[in-house]
Structure 1
Amino acid sequence: MIQEIKIPRILISGTGSGTGKTTITIALTKALQARGLKVSIFKCGPDYLDPGYHSFVTGKTCQNLDGWLMGKESVISTFIGASQGSDISIIEGVMGLFDGHSPNSEAGSTAEIAKWLQVPTIISIDASGMAATFSAIASGIKNYDPQVPIRGFVANFIGSKNHLSIIETASIPLPVLGGFPKSNDYSFPERHLGLRTAGPDILTEEKLSFWQNLSEQWLDLDRILEIANSAPPLSVKGSAEGRIRTKDCRIGVAYDEAFHFYYEENFKKLREEGAELVFFSPLKENKLPKVDGLYFGGGYPELFADNLSNNKDLMQEIGNFAASERPIYAECGGLMYLSSEIKNIEGQSFPMIGLIPGKAIMGPKLKSLGYVEVHTEKRTILGEAGIRFRGHQFRYSDLILENEDESLFSYHIRKRKSEQTTREGYTVSNVLASYVHAHWASNPEIPKNFITSCRRFKV
């Protein structure tokens, strides 16, 4: 049965990175919340940092929408499911509107998501130092792919209200819905290639109030809402709700300031397959919860290496858990925590759990960034040999192994733009750790198999 679901929605995209998409999304959200509207926010692409900001502002988990990692059906079902109970859904794009996996294709781009979800799209353009050129850029974007439902533009980083008025009176192909002046005092600080982790020290009430007030003064909120409400119904097969099984498996999930990079879709699929997720903090707790498996996501363990290393009781508990052969799955920061040692950028070394025989060494330069495909070469806690799935890497550390024992490796990893493969996926007994942030929508068998492994070794 096909259902038609009406979801007021809008997408904030840009001409590239650094055009203020996140700030506009947060500012617009705060202004709409002030009008009493319930807002859901989504982020295109594999990023974890922007979703943290959106989750903080809305109090509701921000979902990633990634065409390459998830596929069309999963993108649509995730969007519909997470939009329920909200008055409007806002999607923040990634990079520029048409930037995806290839300069000759929209695959993996914001434009692809805009078309799949038929979502009215607003483009942020860096308008600093320009007037009529704004119109030329806007015309080029609008005409590049007429199937993308672009409905207006925002002139960002303008000099004054008069500057905005000049741009608005130019020959723009679609309406200019407002703009923001540059404000260094209220911008959000960055780390590595993106924003710093969201928290009350970053997203202060003063900053959020500033951007809310600016939205109310500088954006045409009524027109933006009108555009969002013009979005056509989305068609979906059956119910948008996922199936929920009886909970017969408990999985402990490390979640705190050191470990918080997770795809919400992975949690959803674990719950649908019968897992109860039990969150705990490796920074603050010295005992493990009673669980059948452990899941360590990414984050910034190097920033908390001293505290993690000093929590000897919990590290011993995790070691004993591994010795019982109950499954442990770890990604990126989780891999670093399970290694023998973390050496930070200042050269200080901190002992870690030691389940994976290698040292995680931080460097000043990016070691890996981008999409990858994984092919397992042997049986792991995620299933039999030959399983394939997709994921993303973003790291500043390398794992230096104590030895190149062939039994350690379980993955062949291929970067999206390369035919060459590297070996990774470090396996010791029922411990599996990797730098890959896997998105399980790319292979729904993964969460099923992980839970099966947890059930097999329940104590």
Structure 2
Amino acid sequence: MMNEINIPRILISGTGSGIGKTTLVVGLTKALQARGLKVSVFKCGPDYLDPTYHSLVSGNTCQNLDGWLMGKESVLSSFAEASHCSDIALIEGVMGLFDGHSPHSDIGSTAEIAKWLQAPVIALIDASGMARTFAAIATGLINFDQEVLIKGFIANFVGSEGHTSLLRSALLPTPLLGGLPKAQDQSFPERHLGLHSATEEILTEDKLSFWQNICESYLNIDDILDLAKKASPIPIKEEERKTAKTPSCKIGVARDKAFHFYYKENLRRLEESGAELIYFSPIEDKSLPNVDGLYLGGGYPELYASSLSKNYDLLHEIRNFARSGAPIYAECGGLMYLSNEIQDLQGISYPMLGLVPGKAVMGPKLKALGYVEVHTEKNTILGEAGIRFRGHQFRYSDLLLENPKDELFSYKIRKRKADLTSSEGYTVGNILGSYVHAHWASNPSIPENFVESCKRFRK
């Protein structure tokens, strides 16, 4: 059955990372909400951090849209479902407009999503120390791939209103929709290669009001809205969604300051497969909820290692839960929580669950970043051997195993830039932990299999 996506939409992209896309989308979201509009916000690519900002500001869960992880049909159906009943959709790009899985194609790039969604693109360019060259960069972006509908530009880090006027007179190929001034004291703090996760301490009302006022004062909001309304309807083959089932099992999902990196699509697919999701805090809660399995997502357990290690009652309950044969699936930060201990950058170690025989050691430099493909080599709680799926890694720690025996590993991981594979997927009984953030749109059988594992344990 064919349907149409017919929602006003704008995609905010630019020339690279760190040029202010997230800040612009946050400020623009607030400015549009002040006009009484319901805004849905999306993030291109696999990033788990920027969506926390957009979710907090918009009041709706920010969905990831990633062509390589999800495929076109899942991207379109996720966009259609999450933007339903909204007045406008804002999509934040990833890296530069044409950066993605490969330097030779638009696979996994913002440009790919822009084409699939037929979204008008506004490109953000760092204009500091620049005049006519701004027009050269703008012309290059437009001419590089004319299937990408670049309809306007925004200059960031301008020195003055006169600087913006100078850029506007530089024979731009499409309109300059505004110039945003430098405001270093109002910027969002960065951590590692990305932002901190959004909290109300970071996204204060004063800071949100500041960026709302900046956007209202320096951008032509009316022109941006006009561009959004001119987006063409998209024919979409409606993905066959499962009828909501009566829950057949309960899965505990760790969610607090230490664990909060989850793809919304994964959680939705678990629910569609018959799981009732029960959220709990490994930092605050003293006991486990009554559940049949656990999902321990990514996050920053190293920042809260002391609190996690002192929650003795919960640690004891999870250990007993695991020893009873209950399925436990963990990703990245969740894997670190399963380990014997976490060693922070100061060399201080904090005891953890001790269910995976190794030590998670934080380092000052990035250990892994990028897309991966996973092939399972033995039966796990996610299904029989031979399953394939895609995911993403972003970590600053290594897991140092006590005794790296072959039987501990269940994954073969292939990075996108190399033909070599590595062993991963740490399996102990019905425990499966990995540094990979899997996106289950790449293999919808995985959430179904995990639910089946939890149902078997329940019986």
Classify the secondary structure of the residue corresponding to 1:199: coil
Q: Partner of 1:254 in structure 2?
A: 254
When residues 409 and 240 of structure 1 are mapped into structure 2, their CA distance, relative to the original with a 3 A threshold, is closer
- Shift in Å, 1:239: 6.9
Q: Determine the structure 1 residue equivalent to 2:388.
A: 388
Equivalent in the alignment of 2:350: 350
The equivalent residue for 1:220 is 220
Matches within 5 A, 1:40-439: 40-238=40-238, 243-439=243-439
Residues 87-117 of structure 1: CA distance to partner in whole angstroms, max 9, x if unpaired? Answer: 1000000000000112111111000000011
In structure 1, give the amino acid aligned to 2:382.
Answer: L
Aligned residue in 1 for 2:14: 14
* C-alpha distance in structure 2 between counterparts of 1:9 and 1:246, whole Å: 35
Aligned equivalents of 2:430, 2:285: Cα separation in 1: 23
Deviations 1:349-389 (A, max 9, x none): 11111110000011111111111000000000000000000
Alpha-carbon separation, structure 1, partners of 2:435 and 2:222: 45
Residues in 2 aligned to 1:161 and 1:348: alpha-carbon distance in whole angstroms: 50
Contact 2:77–2:238 (CA under 8 A) maintained in structure 1: no
In 1: Cα distance, 2:432 partner to 2:443 partner: 17
**Distance in 2 between residues matched to 1:182 and 1:241, nearest whole Å:** 46
Q: Per the alignment, in what secondary structure is the counterpart of residue 54 of structure 2?
A: helix
Q: Distance in 1 between matches of 2:3 and 2:403?
A: 56
Given residue 274 of structure 1, which amino acid in structure 2 is its aligned partner?
A: G
Shift of 1:242: 5.5
Provide the aligned length of Structure 1 versus Structure 2.
459
Contact 2:373-2:389 within 8 A present in 1 as well: yes
Quote how far apart the aligned CAs of 1:177 are: 0.5
Q: How does 1:19-30 map to 2 (within 5 A)?
A: 19-30=19-30
The Cα shift of 1:4 comes to: 2.0
3-state DSSP of counterpart to 1:276: strand
Change in 2 beyond 3 A, CA 1:241/1:453: closer
Task: Find the aligned partners of 1:179 and 1:250 in 2 and give their Cα distance.
Answer: 50
Letter in 2 for 1:427: T
**Matched position secondary structure for 1:137:** helix
Report the CA distance shift for 1:54/1:240 in structure 2 as closer, same or farther (over 3 A): farther
In 2: Cα distance, 1:369 partner to 1:434 partner: 14
* Secondary structure class of the residue paired with 1:278: strand
Q: Distance in 2 between matches of 1:378 and 1:264?
A: 27
Conserved? CA contact 2:3–2:237, under 8 Å: yes
Q: 1:166 to 1:276 in 2, by over 3 A?
A: same
Give 1:243 deviation, angstroms. 3.4
Deviation at 1:240, TM superposition (A): 7.9
Name the % identity. 68
TM-score, normalising length: structure 2: 0.99
**Residue ranges of structure 1 left out of the alignment (5+ in a row):** none
Q: CA RMSD in A?
A: 1.0
Structure 2 residue identity aligned to 1:246:
T
Q: Tell me the secondary structure at the aligned position of residue 61 of structure 1.
A: coil
Q: Secondary structure at the match of 2:357?
A: strand
Q: 1:238, CA displacement in angstroms? A: 3.9
Structure 2 unaligned spans of 5+: none
Q: How far apart are the structure 1 equivalents of 2:49 and 2:343? A: 23
* Deviation of 1:5 (Å): 3.0
Cα offset for 1:236? 2.1
Q: Answer with 92-101 or 239-248: which moved more.
A: 239-248
Relative distance call for 1:240 and 1:29 in structure 2 (3 A) is farther
> CA–CA distance in 2 between the matches of 1:5 and 1:198?
30
- State whether residues 74 and 239 of structure 2, in contact with CA within 8 Å, keep that contact through their aligned partners in structure 1: no
1:457 aligns with 2:457: yes
Helix, strand or coil at the partner of 2:458: coil
- Residues 81 and 240, structure 1, Cα contact 8 Å, conserved in 2: no
Residues 243 and 148 of structure 1: is their aligned pair in 2 closer, same or farther, counting only changes over 3 Å? farther
Find the aligned partners of 1:238 and 1:4 in 2 and give their Cα distance: 9
Q: Distance in 2 between matches of 1:239 and 1:425?
A: 30
Q: Is the 8 A contact 2:332 2:434 kept in 1?
A: yes
- Structure 1 Cα separation of the partners of residues 170 and 157 of structure 2: 17
Per-residue CA distance 1:133-171 (angstroms, 9 max, x = gap) = 111110010010000011100011100111101111110
Indicate the residue corresponding to 1:36 in structure 2.
36
- What is the rounded CA distance, in whole Å, between the counterparts of 2:299 and 2:215 in structure 1? 32
Cα distance in 1 for residues equivalent to 2:275 and 2:394: 28
| Cα distance, 1:342 vs structure 2 | 0.6
Normalised to the residue count of structure 1, the TM-score between the two structures is 0.99
Q: Which SS does the other structure have where 2:80 is aligned?
A: helix
3-state SS of the aligned residue for 1:82? helix
CA contact (8 A) 2:377 2:410 kept: yes
Query: How far apart, CA to CA, are the structure 1 residues paired with 2:203 and 2:324?
Result: 42
SS in 2 for 1:457: helix
CA shift for structure 1 position 241: 5.9
Q: Which amino acid aligns with 1:139?
A: T
- Answer whether contact 2:298 2:334 (CA < 8 A) is retained: yes
Contact 2:73 2:237 in 1 (8 A): no
Aligned partners of 1:249 and 1:455 also within 8 Å = yes
Give the SS at the match of 2:382: coil
- Please tell me whether the aligned partners of residues 77 and 240 of structure 1 are also in contact (alpha carbons under 8 angstroms): no
Q: Letter of the aligned partner of 1:55 in structure 2?
A: S
